[in-house]
Chains A and B, each alone.
Chain A
């Protein structure tokens, strides 16, 4: 019997999203527990899926028992089982965290917030689980539309930022849809595995080449790959802090997953490497993203905006790993999907907690924060060390594999870019840590100020998710060898 978990993990958040509305109108307080139940069940289903994939191999789930290529098929292999667990776990952690933050920032909109939140998670999980090109488009739009709505309810500039995101996101989705259309016209199929079989004979066809170009630009817009990232900094800065913490780790990573899926399992790797030099172009764009993101982050005075630019640079790391197109590079890229999700989760959760307590996020206003919020700031430092790439944290290992991949490919420029970006990240984060931990001299001269500072740690429902994310960063760093040997080495396409 086929396991039902691949379909359950999408259907549960979808159904609960609509249940939150009637229950929310009856009792507002029910939304939060309903969301937690839905996401916990979804997380358990994704764990079960991963377990099944590891023990018995790829799962093929035929929706309504229609045989592919006619029916829609959910295909779960090592790569998407891995991403599924990340998406469902990160969204569960953000849901736990959301309670206090939403009550403070959006007291009027709690019911709708949780409804759209669950739709967003259902969309993201659907993108990852599906094995059908058109189904992927529909889920991509569910996730994106929920994302536009969630961002638009943020602070002052949010609606305008969200509108810009909507324009770019729609262009991206339409390009993706056109790509699907071109592939359908030339092959008559929408199933990914089926396309993989049919396409090699048509690789010289201009229609297929144009379809591939549409896919890359469309997905590039969705994952905010430099120079298509312009919507990202504004949207993620002005969004409510819970929403930033959900979208920043997940939306871009899921985009990166779609890119890997299209490049290596819809098209064949040799198509992207030899027939047209996509991977080379992608590598250089990624190098641009890494440097541009880090340099722009240096220019920011707003902590959340700085993180948004760091996210642009982190997307570059994943794209660089894909662009290297060798085993070490792809291992690094897939490992970085996990690591970066947790790093960005921890950082955006910390910013949310700081906002919750003090309402400030200018870097220069973070003074004394290490004494007011000791645990939160400790989590921030660990996440920062991980972004820089200090050994026991997980960020080191993905960067290590990326550098190994760059050396394997003899791309010394990329090695240099990776090392320089680490140095830039050191400057970036120590600027923040300096303001938060080291006190200015004149305050000491006044005396007595030390007593005036009381501990105002974030509430427990916010602190626990932050600590879970931070623990994740440490644990995945220590266990990265095991993660690679049980999951990721099977997720990398076989010909590498």
Chain B
């Protein structure tokens, strides 16, 4: 049992982080805490993607002197997979934009209701 957790510890960490973020998004009443929850949730996904790319003994996926010198034998096993990293670069851009839009909306809410607590806003909207 302990081995099972230890051998896949990266996935456990990602699941625990994701659940923390998910709880904050759904359970917290403060809008900024919800946004922090979104960020934890998304960071967990980044960790998941990046950890799937790792290989034991793998190095940077840069092939030296490869250009214009014919076909080299490249052992894929000795390089980490670059694709998840690239995907996550795009995902980080998306997440930053989400954060920006969310903060802008929260500013608009604060100007209108003078509070960031969800229940107080709902109270005022009755």
Contact = CB atoms under 8 A, between A and B. Distances in A.
A156 interface: yes
Nearest to A169: B98
A138 B94 CA distance: 7
Contacts of B94: 137-138, 141, 145, 173
Contacts of B48: 178, 181
B36 interface: no
B101 interface: yes
B105 A148 contact: yes
Contacts of A148: 101-102, 105
B31 interface: yes
A379 B52 CA distance: 55
Interface residues of A, number: 25
A177 B102 contact: no
Contacts of A134: 87, 90
Contacts of B22: 171
B45 A178 contact: yes
B20 interface: no
A145 B34 contact: no
Interface stretch (A158-166, A268-276, A305-313): A158-166
B41 A163 contact: no
Contact of A174 (B41, B84, B109): B41
A166 B101 contact: yes
B97 to A, nearest CB: 6
Contacts of B121: 160
Contact of B91 (A145, A160, A166, A177): A177
A354 to B, nearest CB: 24
A178 to B, nearest CB: 6
A148 B121 CA distance: 19
Contacts of A149: 101, 104
Contact of A152 (B42, B90, B91, B105): B105
A184 B25 contact: no
A156 B48 CA distance: 40
Given A156-B112, A157-B125, A167-B25, A138 B101 contact: no
B105 A177 contact: no
Given A134-B87, A171-B25, A163 B98 contact: no
Could you tell me the dominant secondary structure of chain B's interface residues? helix
Given A138-B94, A167-B34, A178-B45, A152 B104 contact: yes
A166 B94 CA distance: 13
B38 interface: yes
A159 B45 contact: no
Interface string B41-60: 11001001100100000000
Could you tell me the dominant secondary structure of chain A's interface residues? helix
A141 B104 CA distance: 17
Contacts of B45: 174, 177-178, 181
Contacts of B19: none
Contact of B105 (A156, A162, A178): A162
Interface string B7-19: 0000000000000
A20 to B, nearest CB: 18
Interface string A176-187: 011001001100
A489 interface: no
Nearest to B81: A188
Nearest to B124: A160
B98 A166 contact: yes
A173 B104 CA distance: 20
Contacts of B98: 141, 145, 166, 170
Contacts of B49: 181
A156 B87 CA distance: 38
A160 B101 contact: no
22 contacts: A134-B90, A137-B91, A137-B94, A145-B94, A148-B102, A152-B104, A156-B112, A157-B125, A159-B112, A160-B113, A160-B125, A163-B34, A163-B102, A163-B105, A167-B25, A170-B25, A170-B38, A174-B42, A174-B45, A181-B49, A181-B84, A184-B87
Given A145-B97, A166-B101, A185-B52, 10 more contacts: A145-B101, A148-B102, A152-B104, A156-B112, A160-B109, A160-B121, A170-B98, A171-B41, A174-B41, A184-B84
